[in-house]
Amino acid sequence: MSKQKTATSGAKVRKTFVNVLIHIFLAILAFIWVLPVFWVVLTSFRAEKGSYVETFFPKTYTLNNYVKLFTDTSILNFPKMFMNTLIIAIFTCIISTIFVLSVSYCMSRMRFKMRKPFMNIAMILGLFPSFMSMIAVYFILKALGLSEGSMIRIALIIVFSAGSGVGFYVAKGFFDTIPKSLDEAAIIDGASRWQVFTKITIPLSKPIIVYTILTSFMGPWIDFVFAKVICGANADQFTVSIGLWKMLEKEYINSWYTCFAAGAVVISIPIAILFMFTQKFYVEGMSGAVKG
């Protein structure tokens, strides 16, 4: 019995030691991840100008960086850029979510000719970065008259949402976990495919809907490459990513660097609000999910 107790206590000690090492490692990773965010927040309140300072913590703090960000529109009109991005992100989110969920449901529940080849093609296309096609996309939009003036917003919405349906694999995997017997029972009772999709599948798919909404919103919100190519020199149509990039250019960095940090904090607010708003639906969906 003493040997068994010794072995048990030794195993507990080893397990405790391993857990301590794991927690230390995770704490270090968390510190590394949080440190840049913490630094950006501090810099957004820094009163000293320029990108180079002697100390990590600001010597003096001020709210003028946020005030300047929204009031000084003589060089960089951040409020206009913010509204441009918000409009593009909202419409893209709505269209993309509808596309992704519709395609995912069709791929999961319906059987038709060329289904597997289509899925294979979509997977292969997903291996290539989307910006490989940006030059061709730009000239197509230019030929359609969507590369100038207020039409740039429509062009960006089309670019961000048009190919979203190809990214259906994650949502399809979730739909596959919902028992098909529910669909069959509803169809026997006289429900159409549309009613099955809207009345049964969607209410049971809140987690994947939340995931799709978040990713669809964040895509255009943080994109820089496509926005820069399509907007070109049309400053009135710039998005926040272009605006923040402009603040770091040589002629602006000395006076706009701290405003850049303030802008980085501001643009995180809509994503945080969207996440907090949709989180409860995610939890409800997980707690009420059907077990297959």
Q: What is the pLDDT of residues 224-275, one digit of tens each?
A: 888 888 888 788 888 899 888 888 888 888 888 888 999 999 998 888 888 8
For residue 23, what pLDDT band results from cuts at 50, 70 and 90? very high
Give pTM, 2 decimals.
0.81
Question: In three state form, how does the secondary structure of 182-214 look?
Answer: HHHHHHHCCCCHHHHHHHHHCCCCHHHHHHHHH
Q: Is the pLDDT confidence value at 47 over 70?
A: yes
- pLDDT digits over 63-97, tens only? 888 998 888 888 888 889 999 999 999 999 999 99
What the block records as the tokens of 25 is 């490692």
Q: State the average pLDDT for the chain.
A: 83
pLDDT score of 128: 77
Question: Angle 221-156-227 (CA atoms, 0-180°, nearest 5)?
Answer: 60
pLDDT of 287 above 70: no
What integer pLDDT is reported at residue 2 of this predicted model? 57
- pLDDT for res 195: 86
Tens of pLDDT, residue by residue over 82-137, are 999 999 999 999 999 999 998 888 888 888 888 888 888 888 877 777 777 788 88
Q: Residue 10's pLDDT is what?
A: 67
* Dist. CA 101–CA 121, nearest whole Å: 18
Closest CA to 41 of 28, 56, 52: 56
* Residue 264 near residue 244, CB atoms below 8 Å: yes
pLDDT tier for residue 146 given thresholds of 50, 70 and 90 = confident
Which range has the top average pLDDT, 4-8, 52-56, 128-132, 207-211? 207-211
pLDDT of residue 88: 92
Query: What does residue 50 show for φ and ψ, rounded to 5 degrees?
Result: 85, 170
Residue 290: the pLDDT is 44
Interatomic CA distance for residues 60 and 171, integer angstroms: 49
Query: Which own/partner contact pairs does 50-54 have at CB distance under 8 Å and 24+ positions apart?
Result: 50/253, 50/254, 50/257, 51/253, 51/254, 51/257
Query: What is the tens place of the pLDDT at every residue in 198-238?
Result: 888 888 888 888 888 888 888 888 888 888 888 887 888 88
Q: Which of 147, 156, 166 is nearest to 104 (CA)?
A: 166
CA distances from 63 to 44, 48, 140 (A): 8, 12, 44
**SS3 assignment, position 158:** helix
- Please give the structure tokens belonging to residue 82: 């913010």
